[in-house]
Amino acid sequence: MSGVWVFKNGVVRLVENPGAESMDGSRQGPNIRRKVLVHTPSNEVITSYAVLERKLSSLGWERYYDDPDLLQFHKRSTVHLISLPKDFSKFKSMHMYDIVVKNRNAFEVRDI
């Protein structure tokens, strides 16, 4: 993982390709390599939160419904919490890497 750490509105995040992503998170430029989250046992690209929720549930993650603006998952055997934006179109690589770190053998991020 390489890039530039950006601090904006009290949040620090990694901008992987600073020339391709503006400060508000929108993509720019024609040669942008998109990233996708892949469930490695099935080699399936995660295309929706419904698919992701099924995969996470099978790994022991439970859905939290406390915050209406977020999708949150917790695994009872750990202190980990996965928080995702409610809108799948706002699902960015930082969310993908968060899932990968907490489920190393089940997911990976790939360039397409």
Bridge partner list, 61: 75
The span from the CA of 95 to the CA of 99, in Å, is 6
Task: Give the global pTM.
Answer: 0.71
pLDDT at 29 over 60: no
Q: Which of 72, 49, 75 is nearest to 61 (CA)?
A: 75
Place 27 in a pLDDT band, splitting at 50, 70 and 90: low
Whole-number pLDDT of residue 23: 46
pLDDT at residue 75 in the model: 93
**Gap between the Cα atoms of 79 and 74, Å rounded:** 8
- Count of CB atoms situated within 10 Å of the CB of 43: 7
At 64, the amino acid letter reads: Y
Separation between Cα atoms, residue 69 and residue 100, nearest integer Å: 22
Q: Using an 8 Å Cβ cutoff, are 40 and 105 in contact?
A: yes
